């Protein structure tokens, strides 16, 4: 079997920054084992698998280890593939996913994701401080992740956390955040070693938790956000009722064809 394969740097305006995602267009989904194998072979934080569905697309996301219920940067990359390569000039697309219908539209600087907001609640969790090697001002939780709020952006940038301790937490990911510096309102990093992603370069889904928290704390609905990984990435986010609108740009890196499926071994002649 062959399928078009794209690799796109998401949440960046320059190549080799932001978060790289693989995007594959399939005629139908093969077995999950094959999807996991493809994602592991790509060895990026996420591979997005698209299947046409009427005028739109069904979308699934896999890390090198597991399928995930929501992914921002691979959705942004998928939108770029649809609107720039599969259907050039298209202004919007809706992806049908495990998290419901996710509309994406063009903007002046890239594309805007329309994602469900994820609220969070404060919790006493001393294990998070031990894992980070820094004392959070507050730890929050929702069904998807922990979020540790630190005092300043410099502390977030300087963290060297204990990945084994983070992997042992009873949530698959840990967001770390602080008030922004320079031109940014919010700075964050995201660690998910249990999902095969020690540190994710730029995480759209994490901002569905970050934005409701910071919008309330800072008293405004539009936020300039920066994810302070080694690659780094910028997101403009807006809280709109129970949705988070996440804007970012994409840059294409690779376009080609992937082969997958069971290979038949030839018997050696004697």
- Residues with active-site annotation: 46
- Tokens linked to 248: 């970012």
**Positive or negative torsion for Cα 194, 195, 196, 198:** negative
Burial class (CB in 10 A: 0-12, 13-18, 19+), 203: buried
């Amino acid at each position: 079997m062959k399928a078009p394969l794209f690799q796109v740097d998401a949440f960046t305006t320059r190549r080799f920054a932001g978060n790289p995602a693989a995007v594959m267009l399939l005629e139908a989904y093969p077995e999950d084992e094959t999807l996991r194998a493809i994602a592991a072979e790509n060895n990026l934080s996420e591979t997005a698998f698209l299947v046409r569905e009427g005028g739109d697309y069904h979308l699934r996301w896999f890390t090198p280890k597991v399928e995930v219920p929501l992914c921002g940067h691979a959705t942004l990359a998928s939108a770029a593939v649809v609107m720039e390569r599969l259907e050039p000039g298209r202004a919007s697309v809706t992806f049908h996913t495990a998290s419901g219908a996710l509309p994406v539209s063009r903007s002046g600087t890239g594309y805007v994701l329309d994602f469900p907001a994820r609220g969070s609640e404060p919790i006493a969790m001393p294990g998070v401080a031990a894992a980070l090697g820094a004392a959070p001002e507050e730890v929050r939780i929702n069904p998807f992740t922990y979020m540790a709020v630190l005092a300043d952006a410099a502390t977030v940038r300087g963290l060297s956390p204990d990945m084994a301790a983070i992997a042992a937490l009873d949530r698959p990911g840990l967001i770390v955040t602080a008030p922004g510096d320079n031109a940014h309102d919010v700075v964050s990093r995201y660690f998910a070693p249990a999902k095969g992603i020690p540190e994710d370069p730029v995480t759209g889904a994490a901002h569905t938790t970050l934005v409701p928290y910071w919008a309330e704390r800072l008293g405004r609905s539009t936020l300039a956000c920066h994810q302070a990984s080694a690659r780094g990435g910028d997101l403009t986010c807006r809280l709109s009722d129970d949705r988070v609108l996440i804007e970012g740009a994409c840059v294409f890196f690779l376009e080609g064809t992937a082969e997958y499926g069971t290979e038949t071994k030839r018997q050696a002649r004697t």
